[in-house]
Structure 1
Amino acid sequence: MERLRAKFASFEYKGLAAIVLVFTLMAVVLFAERSGIQYQYNTFSLSFLPAGSTLSKAEALAGVPRDCLLLYNSERADSCMALEEFEVILTDMKVGHDTVDLARTDAYSFKDYKTAVLLLSNLSDLGDKLTELDEWVYGGGGALLPLTLSKETYFSVMAPKFGIVESSYDYTLVEGIYVTESFMAGGGRGFAITDPWNSALTVQLAESDQVKVHACTDNEWKLPLIWESRYGSGRFVLDNFGIFTKEMRGLYAASYSLLTSITVYPVINASCFYLDDFPSQVPSGSNEYIWRDYGTSTRDFYVNIWWPDMMNLADRYGLKYTGLAIQCYDERVDGTTTDSADKETFLNFGNMLLRMGGEIGYHGYNHQPLCLDDCDYNGVYDYKTWQSEEAMASALDTLFELCDELFPGVEMSVYVPPSNIMSQGAQEFLIREYPQIRSISGIYFESNDLDFYCTQEFDVGENGVVEQPRIISGCALEDYMKLAALSELNFHYVNSHFTHPDDALDPQRGAELGWEELKAQFTSYLDWLYTAAPNIRNFTGSEMAAAVQRYASITVSTEINGDVLKIHLGNFIDEAQLMVRFNDAVPHTVEGGTLEPLTDTLYFLRADQPDVTVTFA
């Protein structure tokens, strides 16, 4: 070794040799980077469970005791509207329940249940059962009344027991709802209501430690919108805003959690950020808003400004992006395809995404949704329909081959339909022909524009494919999306967001504000999210799908003995994520998991065993 060192020291061109060595190393690194031959990035923290080993939510719920009574009246439109949402809410919370239609029978008894949800705006629908309800709650039952009540004789009898000391026949406009900090994660602030109407009964509540307001109108009047009233050994919980759409589910779930001394329900616990159309071909030329603010081309904006900013946000908040690859933007639907015009950019963006711990999913060969000629876009979109399943397969094969070429060894298992559109037949074709697709991510909220949007719930389908819808989108979140984010954070403990690289180019998505303002608004949302839910798991799409598998299967049963709470988790596999509301106690120690406070009464429980024991302080 010493002779080798002496020989090298006397070598006349050792400086040149060092330079050659450096460049050789750089070439090796660049080769590995560009060829994509060394990918160790798919080391996900949560993996898919084997196909056929999981249950859907409905299958899991079938084995749960039915200790909740869900009452509705099929002859009243508001009751039927509320029923549609509450069937989902109770199912997702894994609350076993019997659904009874008062228009068809009165053969039920409150005494057979621990809780009751009364989807009634007029208490006269209960008839003689009102007395039984009164006695049952007084003896320890918990009753939720989610509909805004009508002021009539039966209401007047019950009003004092609801904590109401004064009311009028007037209904108040609900333009915003203020959620207290202790009631919901992310609360302590107001949220605007989209398309408000006079939906709240004007009431004044008793000033008593037996009555507690959890939400009110976000104005100077502070009209109560959600409150509980202790009555004897039980409690009534009233929701006084009368809106039954998906973005309100978390408010109703939180209301239900007030009915008993302790409420436990499973959640998903995942924060996922999708980048639609990424990696893809970068638009050429310039954009008026980008040129206005930066004086640069669209390509340079993508490469030098937008993507570095997105990477910085990922580093700051621990985000794990799921990019959705699209090969090109031609309009071919006959099965003929072209090679990617810019593989280098596609490869570089994809490499950087993977190195950050992200994931690449499939979006499409082009941006034409998977729809055959039985679909009619009704003038809403100018998309074409595919000539045949063979044509769709040819196009998708081209995308899959490109991804295999550029990212060898990388598992890709998530598909997102372009513009969230996909016919049922095309979805069946996709699952049949491409079994590597384990999860499809559509959208959470329905649209009246078309009847073949890919609208989903969080669940496992009969075919074993995981449904994990995206909930909110863009950088400049509208009021509707902010309320939806609060709701889903408290319902499923989920953030599911998607954005496009060209949001900053499109005036309909905020381009006029400029990228700096869009980035600031997006950062504000991230600050709110990770302050409200500091322990939420940053996941890729595949990891989130794996979490949905476990969530769909899990069931919960509880038993309280003195100062000890015992939780048993049915269909437990390797983990469970749960929300726990302590209404009458403070937790002290935990065995079988970890417990973290989100508010002073709402806790997050991560269980690593099927049986968890909590002792109270």
Structure 2
Amino acid sequence: MFGFKFGVVSVGNPYPARGIKLTSNVLIGERGYASDDPYFVNTSNVIELDDKAELLATSTDGNPLLWRMDYGKGAFMVFNGSMLQEKVNRGVIAGALGMLEPEFIYPVFNSKLIYIDDFPSPIREGSIPSIYEAYHKDIKQFYREIWWPDMLKAAQKAGLKYTAGIIQSYQDNVEGPFAYPADEDRYNLISYGREVIKSGGEIGIHGYNHQSLQSDQRIADYYDYKVWKSTDVMADSVTEVLDFAHRAFPNYQIMSYIPPSNMLGPDGREALKRAWPNLTVISSLYEEDINKVSYVQEFEVAEDGIIEMPRISSGYMDSPFEQWAEANAITSLGFYSHFVHPDDILDEMRGQNLSWEELYEGFTLKLERLRSTYPWLRAMTSTEAALDLEKVLNSEVKWTRVPGRIQGELSNMNGENYFILRTDHSIGRLQNCTVNKIDDGVFLVTALKDKFEIGLGD
């Protein structure tokens, strides 16, 4: 009898249910998503559902994974699996909660970002066969005449801004002195940097070199890096790369840091604060790291005031997991953050042995999917999004529900605030806000004043 409350007619033995298919828009914009990627393996029971249950997601073989069942004046939401323990799946939780109540509204950041790590940076001399055969250009000519114009064109078409992460040197010096390394390239910094800024983008710091700021030998060995001599030496390297950037752009304020290889130790973080008083945001990784070498973040303002703003996905080519991770972050947070490297084409693993034409086509298709599925996301740079994120985290909203209306009252409001509203009701009279449909039964609410109201129809 108890199982019927949950919409279950019969239960079989647990088994490894592979793949996932969304029969609903529990993830915004992703109704019909299907993948048998190895990531999607749930320990699930074989389930037969009541005909009255609303099926929201299944495994590849059709076994129910997520469903809703009305009961009395309320409803049950059931997930028949084990994958929700991982934070990358939080969008499923947010979407499922939104389908439990007649109206469900929650704040989001409403931002989309894209980073280019290791750019501008020293460009290696010479050529590689795949590039020379295709373009009759060496590596430097390829970056200047092919890769960078293509990247600018892709961003303009997709309505995105780049945040570029400078590397001053690829020498593995972790002891100092650091001034004027032999391979630094001030010309390319100025040339590419001006174009990043002119395109509406931002220049941040990726590192003095590509040796992650940490002193744990186990973590250093993971990427065959060196361990820094001390926090003071780390701070000296940060001071040098900031000076290098300021020599190129004397009046430009640099406020964003992207850890090399997404690794950063507590001592490295202390070195950053010591050498960089106006450091505003650190952007590393969101997803858990089973190897425990990465600097994994939540979206928050740390006790020292630095904004923690992780990235979600990476690479030029789309993949089922990347699409899933992005959709979960957009559904739960209204946030898209992606990164690529200039030299992915030079790396067999990161470039997947594909030509630049293939990588560029994949990249533009990926960005077009983002633009067409989530046209409401605002294009921002790292610092713009971080300051906006801080504003959202510092604000609070009080909801009052009366028949036919949702009333919101914001404290600490500073500019527009954004919310996702799920409801099957039509949208009625609005006060001090706008409401735009972004999916079936899903709306983006923009609060224009601290007190606002959403009217609801039948």
- When the two structures are superposed, what TM-score results if normalisation uses the length of structure 1? 0.70
One-letter amino acid of the counterpart of residue 454, structure 2 = V
Q: Would the aligned equivalents of 1:270 and 1:494 in 2 still touch at CA under 8 Å?
A: yes
CA separation of 1:191 and 1:431: change in aligned 2, threshold 3 A? farther
Corresponding position: 1:599 with 2:439: yes
1:616 alignment partner in structure 2:
456
1:256 alignment partner in structure 2:
97
CA distance in 1, matches of 2:351, 2:339: 15
Post-superposition Cα deviations, 1:529-550, rounded to whole Å, max 9, x if no partner, equal: 1222111000000011012102
Secondary structure class of the residue paired with 2:219: coil
CA distance in 2, matches of 1:450, 1:284: 35
Corresponding position: 1:499 with 2:340: yes
How much does 1:198 deviate?
Answer: 5.0
CA distance in 1, matches of 2:54, 2:226: 56
CA distance in 2, matches of 1:193, 1:567: 41
One-letter amino acid of the counterpart of residue 486, structure 1 = A
Which of residues 317, 325, 348 in structure 1 aligns to 2:166?
325
> How many pairs were matched up?
454
One-letter amino acid of the counterpart of residue 33, structure 2 = R
Corresponding position: 1:390 with 2:240: no
Q: Which moved more, 1:314-323 or 1:333-342?
A: 333-342
Secondary structure class of the residue paired with 1:484: helix
CA distance in 1, matches of 2:456, 2:41: 43
CA distance in 2, matches of 1:222, 1:391: 57
Secondary structure class of the residue paired with 1:171: strand
Matches within 5 A, 1:114-513: 157-171=1-15, 173-181=17-25, 184-197=28-41, 199-208=43-52, 211-217=53-59, 219=60, 221-243=61-83, 244-337=85-178, 338-339=180-181, 341-372=184-215, 374-377=216-219, 379-451=221-293, 453-513=294-354
1:111 alignment partner in structure 2:
none
How much does 1:519 deviate?
Answer: 1.5
Post-superposition Cα deviations, 1:78-108, rounded to whole Å, max 9, x if no partner, equal: xxxxxxxxxxxxxxxxxxxxxxxxxxxxxxx
CA separation of 1:397 and 1:179: change in aligned 2, threshold 3 A? farther
Q: Would the aligned equivalents of 1:473 and 1:498 in 2 still touch at CA under 8 Å?
A: yes
CA distance in 1, matches of 2:23, 2:206: 38
CA distance in 2, matches of 1:273, 1:215: 30
How much does 1:389 deviate?
Answer: 2.8
Q: Would the aligned equivalents of 2:231 and 2:270 in 1 still touch at CA under 8 Å?
A: no
How much does 1:461 deviate?
Answer: 0.5
How much does 1:554 deviate?
Answer: 2.7
One-letter amino acid of the counterpart of residue 189, structure 1 = Y
| Alignment RMSD | 1.9
1:138 alignment partner in structure 2:
none
Secondary structure class of the residue paired with 1:284: coil
How much does 1:351 deviate?
Answer: 0.6
One-letter amino acid of the counterpart of residue 367, structure 1 = H
One-letter amino acid of the counterpart of residue 362, structure 1 = I
One-letter amino acid of the counterpart of residue 386, structure 2 = A
Task: For structure 1, list consecutive stretches of 5 or more residues without a partner in the other structure.
Answer: 1-156
Q: Would the aligned equivalents of 2:116 and 2:339 in 1 still touch at CA under 8 Å?
A: yes
Secondary structure class of the residue paired with 2:244: helix
1:21 alignment partner in structure 2:
none
One-letter amino acid of the counterpart of residue 554, structure 1 = S
CA distance in 2, matches of 1:450, 1:248: 19
Matches within 5 A, 1:541-560: 541-560=382-401
One-letter amino acid of the counterpart of residue 270, structure 2 = E
Secondary structure class of the residue paired with 2:218: coil
Task: For structure 2, list consecutive stretches of 5 or more residues without a partner in the other structure.
Answer: none
Secondary structure class of the residue paired with 1:508: coil
One-letter amino acid of the counterpart of residue 171, structure 1 = Y
How much does 1:189 deviate?
Answer: 2.1
2:375 alignment partner in structure 1:
534
One-letter amino acid of the counterpart of residue 418, structure 1 = P
Q: Would the aligned equivalents of 1:182 and 1:602 in 2 still touch at CA under 8 Å?
A: no
Q: Percent identity?
A: 31
CA distance in 2, matches of 1:274, 1:320: 9
Corresponding position: 1:524 with 2:365: yes
Q: Would the aligned equivalents of 2:164 and 2:203 in 1 still touch at CA under 8 Å?
A: yes
One-letter amino acid of the counterpart of residue 431, structure 1 = K
Post-superposition Cα deviations, 1:315-346, rounded to whole Å, max 9, x if no partner, equal: 10111100001111011111212345432222
How much does 1:356 deviate?
Answer: 0.1
CA distance in 2, matches of 1:540, 1:299: 26
How much does 1:196 deviate?
Answer: 4.1
One-letter amino acid of the counterpart of residue 595, structure 1 = V
- When the two structures are superposed, what TM-score results if normalisation uses the length of structure 2? 0.94
Q: Would the aligned equivalents of 2:259 and 2:284 in 1 still touch at CA under 8 Å?
A: yes
Post-superposition Cα deviations, 1:257-288, rounded to whole Å, max 9, x if no partner, equal: 22221111111111000000111111211123
CA distance in 2, matches of 1:496, 1:175: 25
Q: Which moved more, 1:324-333 or 1:589-598?
A: 589-598
Q: Would the aligned equivalents of 2:27 and 2:331 in 1 still touch at CA under 8 Å?
A: no
Q: Which has the larger radius of gyration?
A: 1
Corresponding position: 1:580 with 2:421: yes
CA distance in 1, matches of 2:100, 2:416: 27
CA separation of 1:490 and 1:171: change in aligned 2, threshold 3 A? same
Post-superposition Cα deviations, 1:453-491, rounded to whole Å, max 9, x if no partner, equal: 211011100011100011111112443222111110101
CA separation of 1:553 and 1:194: change in aligned 2, threshold 3 A? farther
Secondary structure class of the residue paired with 2:291: coil
One-letter amino acid of the counterpart of residue 205, structure 1 = L
CA distance in 1, matches of 2:187, 2:23: 49
Post-superposition Cα deviations, 1:140-160, rounded to whole Å, max 9, x if no partner, equal: xxxxxxxxxxxxxxxxx2221
CA distance in 2, matches of 1:414, 1:279: 15
Q: Would the aligned equivalents of 2:220 and 2:226 in 1 still touch at CA under 8 Å?
A: no
